[in-house]
Amino acid sequence: MNKRFLLKATAALTAAVAFGTVQAQTTPLKFQLDWRFEGPAAFFLVPAAKGYFKDAKLDVTVDSGNGSGGAVTRVASGTYDLGFADLAALMEFHANNPDAPNKPVAIMMVYNNTPASVMALKKSGIKTPADLAGKKLGAPVFDAGRRAFPIFQKANDIANVTWTAMDPPLRETMLVRGDVDAITGFTFTSLLNIEARGVKAEDVVVMQYPDFGVKLYGNAIIASPKILKENPAAVKAFLSAFTKGAKDVIANPASAIESVKARDGIINVPLETRRLQLAIDTVINSPSARAEGFGQINGPRLTLMSSQVSDAFNTKTRVKVDDIWNGSFLPTAKELDILPKPKK
C-alpha cells in the first residue's frame, strides 16, 4: 500500500514538474489594440483564436483600445509589451518626449497607407480638396486625419478651414445632420458609420489622403524597448505568428470575423466583415504595400513622413527616423510574402 502511494506521489510530482517546465517556456505578452473590437482587430484575434501564438510558446492577451495615442503611452508606461498604433502618433510621442526612458519602437508596418480621409456628403457641393476652403470640418481632437490635415492641406493648396471637436460616436452623426461640412476619419471606420446613419455610399465624397499626395504610413506594431532587449526571441515569434494569422485573414475575411464576434458578441457581422475587407483593400493589400513588401518600409518615404509630422504636429524636437523604426525582428521574406496579386 505504501509502495503504491509512493509511486503515485512520484508520478504526480513528475507531472507537476513537467507542467511547470512547459508553463515556464510560455512567455506572457500583453498587446494593446488601437481601437475597439471591430473588423480590423481580426488581424490580431485570429492568430490567438487559431492557436498560432500558443504554438509559438506565447500567451498573448489582446485588449481593445481607445486611440493610437493611448496605445503608444500604455506601451511606453510598461503596462503593455506590444501595441498597434498610428505611426504618426508614435513619431509625435518621440519628438515631444525626447527624455522619456521607454519610448516604444515600430517593428512591423501593417497599414502601409494612412487610412485617413476627408469625407463629405455630395449634397454639400464638396467634390475636391479645394472645395474645403472656408468650410467647417469636424473630428475628435486626437483623430489621426485631423492631426495630419495640415499635410493634406499643404499638398492640395487648401485655404483656411475651421474645426469643430466632438467625441468619436458623434462625428458621423454631426456630418449627416449638417452640423459640419466634412469630417476626417479612417475610411473603413467613418464611411461605414455614415452608411449606418442612413446615407448611401454613393452619396458620400471620400478623399483618401494617399490619393491626394499624402504618402503617410498608417498603423504599425510597436514594442517597448524593454521587451526587445529582454526577450527578442519572443518578439520574433509574435511577428511570425501574427503574419501567419494575417495571411488567413486576407484569404478569408468572412471567417476571420468570427474571432472578433467571440470577443464582442453584439457586433454587426456583415458590417464588420465589410469594414475588414475595406481595410484590406485600402491600406493592407495596396499597390504601395505590394511594392514595398508586407510589414516593411521604404527608407526615403519614412524620412519624408518624419519631416512632415515634425512640421504638421509642431513637435518640440524633430522626429529621428532611426529612433522610431527597427525592422530587425521581422519574419523572413518568404513568410512575409502573403499579399495576393490584384484581381484583373
pLDDT, tens digit, for every residue of 292-339? 999 999 999 999 999 999 999 999 999 999 999 999 999 999 999 999
Query: Are 93 and 236 in a shared domain?
Result: yes
Return d(Cα 259, Cα 133) in angstroms, integer. 43
Check whether 118 has a pLDDT greater than 70.
yes
Q: Are strands 105-109 and 136-138 parallel, antiparallel or unpaired?
A: unpaired
Domain termination residue (choose one: 182, 212, 242): 212
The mean pLDDT of 109-132, rounded to a whole number, is 97
Check whether 108 has a pLDDT greater than 50.
yes
The mean pLDDT of 188-194, rounded to a whole number, is 94
Query: Are 231 and 248 in a shared domain?
Result: yes
Indicate whether 81 belongs to any domain. yes
Domain termination residue (choose one: 163, 186, 212): 212
Q: What is the pTM of this model?
A: 0.90
Domain termination residue (choose one: 171, 188, 212): 212
Query: Are 82 and 125 in a shared domain?
Result: no
Query: Are 207 and 231 in a shared domain?
Result: no
Query: Are 205 and 224 in a shared domain?
Result: no
Query: Are 120 and 49 in a shared domain?
Result: no
Query: Are 104 and 224 in a shared domain?
Result: yes
Check whether 266 has a pLDDT greater than 50.
yes
Indicate whether 133 belongs to any domain. yes
The mean pLDDT of 136-156, rounded to a whole number, is 94
Domain that holds residue 286: 27-112+217-336
Query: Are 124 and 156 in a shared domain?
Result: yes
Indicate whether 16 belongs to any domain. no
Query: Are 279 and 207 in a shared domain?
Result: no
Check whether 119 has a pLDDT greater than 50.
yes
Indicate whether 126 belongs to any domain. yes
Query: Are 121 and 184 in a shared domain?
Result: yes
Indicate whether 8 belongs to any domain. no
Q: Per-residue confidence at 21, pLDDT binned at 50, 70, 90?
A: very low
What CATH number is associated with residue 133?
3.40.190.10
Indicate whether 125 belongs to any domain. yes
Number of independent structural domains in the chain: 2
- Where is pLDDT greater, at 6 or 173? 173
Query: Are 324 and 233 in a shared domain?
Result: yes
- In b/e form, how buried is each residue of 305-323, taking b as 16+ CB within 10 angstroms? bbebbbebbebeeebebee
Residue 342: predicted pLDDT: 77
Query: Are 264 and 317 in a shared domain?
Result: yes
